[in-house]
Amino acid sequence: MKDLESKVEELNRYARNRADSLMSEVIKGEELSFIYTVLFGLFALFACVSISIVFARNLLSQLGADPNELSEVAERISDGDIDIDFKSENRTGVYKVMKEMVDALKEAREADETRRWHRSGGCRSG
């Protein structure tokens, strides 16, 4: 009977040791899972920020200037003010098109003033 009790006790110790071992493996697995989840989250965050920066730069390059500056220029044009000093000649996108539009409006205004001057007899010599 003592032999059976010792065998049961030995089996019980083995079961406890095995359970403790499996539990530590589970805990290590959970820690690794947590680390992988955090790393994936950081990678996803970095990817989202990078993509957002690329899209923002692409959008701003299509606009050619700061949206507030474009809004101010558009508002001045809509008010009839075409005497706008554009800050840079090498802009692209919407800013460049607005500059070209203002230049065309200035040319049209000058041509109209010239026509009016000719019609009013300003070119008659006397």
pLDDT of residue 126: 46
Cα dihedral 33, 39, 44, 49 in deg (nearest 10):
160
pTM recorded for the entire structure: 0.53
**b/e sequence 68-103, b meaning 16+ C-beta within 10 Å:** ebbeebeeeeeeeeeebeeeeeebeebbbebbeebe
Cα separation, 113 vs 102, in Å, equals 16
Q: What is the number of residues in the chain? A: 126
Cα separation, 86 vs 28, in Å, equals 63
The ranges assigned to domains in the chain are 1-63, 64-126
Across the 126 residues of the chain, what is the mean pLDDT of every consecutive 10-residue run? 84 86 84 91 97 92 84 89 79 85 90 88 59
pLDDT of residue 48: 97
pLDDT of residue 17: 87
pLDDT of residue 39: 95
